[in-house]
């Protein structure tokens, strides 16, 4: 999500709002006391000194709402840059005096909505966002977050209306990206993709973070229509701009897995497996690469521990990833289908459709696939992989 602005988005936060697929890491129990769990940042590093200074100021003035929101914003930015979910928790802690209020100060309420969205508490996030735009209809950050949450939930008409409010509040590129993100899910893929690509060419001065967001979306759009060459070119352009972006890495890894290029996935994510979604891609690549190995067994065990811990906490953020794990790593289609169905209640992106259809096909359960098949028809969803699965299920294969 962008910070508060009049004309332009701050992409580090904006991208965080888009990247709904979870990057949170579940608790990890090392195999032995000698295992290196993590190498901590040096306290003398500039970033750590900056954060320590903010913490000290906040400890001295815990009721200073301006300082608290500035601290929370900084933590959210760092969480995105470092792909470290702990900083989201630090951001929430900075807002603790106001967190449980029914109507906290607007700047706190917006950050709360962002953090709620990150844990898939979409209803609560929308409640805050609705209150914000009702009080201040010129808040572009709130409209953008609202549009993204509505798109994920499949509320396309409402999302389009939210995007439209950005036209007089933000940049052309932000507005068109928001609109195209909805259009690609509602039978307007070709037009949305062409418009977004043209708009990006007209806005080459946009900063790297904004361009990464747009190029990642364009890569996914090309992949969904079966244009592997265009998809790869866009993903690679985005990686040049930001090789650490976790959502981009996951999207490109999925593309490579679809192309049966497991070795490239292993090289891409091998140093980023602290992030659950990227550990999943690593395990999927190992599984695709050949016979079971100790490395795959270790990745399997670690994923199982993380998902088990998430379930014990009542954390549903990982259901799409867990469904893929159960289906493709564990070979348990029934469990995968149950998880995919639970996930479908919450979010309705192409990846959610695909995993539910894959699990239903493997389980031989046409009835379970029916809600997705109906959704695809109703909204004219254009995705070659989804269409292939629908045909397979209808044919009874």
CATH code of the domain in which 160 resides: 1.25.40.10
Q: Is residue 367 part of a domain?
A: no
CA separation, residue 193 to residues 27, 189, 382, 391 (Å):
39, 6, 12, 25
* 3-class state of residue 27 by DSSP: coil
Residue 340 · residue 319 · CB < 8 Å: yes
Residue-range definition of the domain harbouring residue 73: 11-28+47-317
Residue 132, classified by CB atoms within 10 Å of its CB into exposed (0-12), middle (13-18) or buried (19+), is buried
State the CB neighbour count (10 A cutoff) for residue 271. Answer: 9
Q: Specify the length of the chain in residues.
A: 397
Give the pLDDT confidence score for residue 13 in this predicted structure.
Answer: 42
Q: Is residue 18 part of a domain?
A: yes
State the CB neighbour count (10 A cutoff) for residue 30. Answer: 10
Q: Is residue 347 part of a domain?
A: no
- Compute the distance between CA of residue 21 and CA of residue 184 in angstroms, rounded to an integer: 18
Q: Is residue 370 part of a domain?
A: no
Q: How many domains, in total, are found in the chain?
A: 1
Give the pLDDT confidence score for residue 279 in this predicted structure.
Answer: 96
Q: Is residue 391 part of a domain?
A: no
Give the pLDDT confidence score for residue 83 in this predicted structure.
Answer: 65
Q: In sequence order, which ranges of 136-274 are alpha helices (DSSP H)? A: 140-152, 156-164, 172-183, 189-202, 208-224, 228-241, 246-258, 262-269
Give the pLDDT confidence score for residue 7 in this predicted structure.
Answer: 30
Series of mean pLDDT values for 10-residue runs along the chain (397 residues): 33 42 44 48 73 93 95 88 78 96 96 91 96 96 96 97 96 97 95 98 95 97 98 98 93 98 98 93 96 93 93 84 97 98 96 98 97 98 97 88
Q: Is residue 38 part of a domain?
A: no
- Compute the distance between CA of residue 358 and CA of residue 205 in angstroms, rounded to an integer: 41
Q: Is residue 311 part of a domain?
A: yes
Residue 224 · residue 383 · CB < 8 Å: yes
Give the pLDDT confidence score for residue 318 in this predicted structure.
Answer: 86
State the CB neighbour count (10 A cutoff) for residue 55. Answer: 15
pTM: 0.87
Degrees to nearest 5, angle at CA 388 with 386 and 394 = 100
Q: Which residue has the tokens 């290196």?
A: 36
Task: Find all residues with CB under 8 Å of 356, minimum gap 6, and list them.
Answer: 323, 337, 340, 341, 343, 344, 368, 369, 372
Give the pLDDT confidence score for residue 331 in this predicted structure.
Answer: 96
Q: Is residue 225 part of a domain?
A: yes
- Compute the distance between CA of residue 184 and CA of residue 205 in angstroms, rounded to an integer: 25
Give the pLDDT confidence score for residue 88 in this predicted structure.
Answer: 87
Give the pLDDT confidence score for residue 44 in this predicted structure.
Answer: 57
């Amino acid at each position: 999500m962008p910070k508060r602005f009049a004309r332009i988005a701050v992409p580090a936060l904006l991208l965080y709002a888009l990247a709904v697929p979870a990057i949170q890491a579940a608790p990890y129990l090392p195999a032995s006391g000698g295992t290196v769990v993590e190498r901590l940042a040096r306290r003398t590093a500039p970033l750590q000194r900056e954060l320590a200074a903010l913490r000290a100021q906040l400890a001295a003035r815990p009721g200073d709402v301006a300082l608290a929101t500035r601290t929370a914003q900084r933590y959210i930015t760092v969480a995105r840059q470092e792909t470290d979910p702990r900083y989201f928790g630090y951001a929430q802690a900075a807002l603790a005096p106001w967190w449980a209020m029914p109507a906290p100060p607007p700047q706190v309420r917006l950050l709360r909505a962002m953090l709620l969205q990150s844990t898939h508490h979409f209803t609560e996030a929308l409640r805050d966002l609705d209150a914000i735009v009702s009080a201040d209809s010129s808040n572009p950050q709130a409209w953008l977050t609202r549009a993204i949450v509505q798109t994920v939930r499949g509320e396309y008409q409402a999302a389009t209306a939210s995007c439209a409010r950005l036209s007089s509040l933000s940049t052309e590129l932000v507005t068109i990206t928001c609109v195209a993100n909805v259009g690609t899910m509602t039978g307007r893929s070709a037009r949305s993709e062409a418009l977004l690509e043209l708009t990006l060419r007209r806005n080459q001065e946009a900063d790297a973070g904004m361009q990464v967001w747009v190029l990642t979306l364009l890569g996914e759009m090309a992949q969904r229509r079966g244009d592997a060459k265009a998809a790869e070119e866009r993903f690679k352009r985005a990686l040049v701009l930001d090789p650490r972006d976790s959502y981009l890495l996951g999207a490109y890894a999925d593309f490579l897995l679809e192309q049966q290029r497991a070795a490239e996935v292993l090289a891409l994510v091998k140093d980023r497996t602290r992030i659950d979604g990227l550990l999943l891609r690593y395990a999927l690549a190992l599984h695709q690469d050949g016979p079971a190995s100790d490395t795959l067994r270790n990745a399997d065990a670690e994923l199982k521990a993380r998902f088990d811990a998430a379930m014990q906490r009542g954390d549903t953020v990982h259901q799409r990833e867990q469904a893929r794990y159960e289906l493709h790593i564990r070979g348990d289609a029934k469990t995968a289908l149950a998880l995919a169905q639970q996930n479908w209640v919450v979010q309705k992106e192409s990846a959610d459709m695909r995993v539910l259809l894959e699990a239903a096909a493997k389980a031989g359960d046409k009835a379970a696939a029916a809600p997705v098949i109906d959704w695809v028809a109703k909204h004219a969803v254009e995705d070659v992989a989804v269409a292939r699965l629908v045909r397979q299920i209808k044919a009874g294969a």
